[in-house]
Amino acid sequence: MVRKISNRIRSRFNFSVAEIGFQDLRKRGLIGAVSIGSNPSKLEQIAQKLMRESEKILGGDLVRSKFDIFDLD
């Protein structure tokens, strides 16, 4: 399931994706996704779509999701 959602995020949202936790467990995963852009509101909009897609794929198996936007100014 981790591979499926990672591939879908990469292809649909143009985010870099990595499994960043629980690699030693078969039925649990932690995925990190990142994107860089000059328009924070556009990035937030895309991140919201990404999270909705993740919820659609994983349903009740999704435990938690969050996103942060960092401004380097």
Q: Summarize pLDDT for 35-46 with one digit per residue, the tens.
A: 888 888 898 899
32 located within any domain: yes
Q: Summarize pLDDT for 13-66 with one digit per residue, the tens.
A: 888 888 888 777 777 788 888 888 888 889 889 989 988 888 888 888 788 888
Give the whole-angstrom CA distance, residue 29 versus residue 23: 7
Q: What is the mean pLDDT of residues 1-16?
A: 83
70 located within any domain: no
| Phi-psi sector, 6: left (phi>0), alpha (psi -120 to 50), beta | alpha
Angle between helices 40-58 and 2-13 (to 10 degrees): 150
Q: Domain of 41?
A: 2-61
Q: How many domains does the chain have?
A: 1
pLDDT of residue 28: 78
